[in-house]
Amino acid sequence: MPSLSSQKQPRASVSQIPLFVHIKETLRKQILDGRYSVHDKLPSERELIESFNVSRITVRQALAELQREGLVFKINGKGTFVSKPKAALDLSKLRGFGEAMSSMGYESFARVLSIKDELASNSVSTNLNLPAGSVTMAIQRLRYLNREPISLDITYFPPELGKIIAAADLEQRDILSVLENECGVTLENAKVCIESQLCDDYLSRHLQIEAGGPILHIERTLFNTEHKPVLYENLFYRGDVFRYSLDVER
């Protein structure tokens, strides 16, 4: 465990900011610069009280802030531990999962579970702007991040695009890349809906998480420059290792 002696300093030196913020930022920096690794135990409340010369309430407030940020987690009776960082995908950019993850240094790949023609449901035909009862190409993949299953993706295409997509190496390539390069589609924008739902037995088995727990459901339709839908998909993400982010301006 890293030494705390270098942290100790009089109250006057941090009088410009709230004490709990100073403690939070000190621990935050040590976590992010690698002094504490994933699942390392942080100093106990008593050690932090003595090191920073503050009250127990102040220490608990600092730890609570770190927990809200997702940097630490608590185990009753055992202490506070460093969390595994969550990968994040920026919703303000239309990028493939593999493309986004590789740009941040993550290893990602997919396992194709099924490729088949099937009759479009009402939601599929509506989102792809197809007549009711149309046949679509449905591709189901299990996505991995750093060799752990992170999402199950079910993607639907109009038949003419689906045949080209199905012939590509979907274990190593993003569908968006295939659309642009092999299909000659220029992507313009996407409609995205996000909700939380409970994990069923099928998702539990593939994502290796407990059935009944919360997962992130992403419903997405991609459009070309003529505003015609080119794919519709349902993505089911593990909430414990992944998050979406979005920059919003007024």
Asked if 137 and 156 touch (Cβ cutoff 8 Å), the reply is: yes
pLDDT band at 106, cuts 50/70/90? confident
pTM, two decimal places? 0.67
pLDDT digits (tens, 9 = 90+) for 87-97: 777 777 788 88
Q: Is the pLDDT of residue 44 over 50?
A: yes
Mean pLDDT (whole number) for 180-194: 93
For domain 87-245, which CATH number applies: 3.10.50.30, 3.40.50.1100, 3.40.1410.10, 3.10.180.10?
3.40.1410.10
Spans of all domains in the chain: 5-82, 87-245
For domain 5-82, which CATH number applies: 3.90.79.10, 3.40.50.720, 1.10.10.10, 3.40.50.300?
1.10.10.10
For residue 36, give every residue at least 6 positions away whose Cβ sits within 8 Å of its Cβ, in sequence order, or none: 2, 30, 42, 82
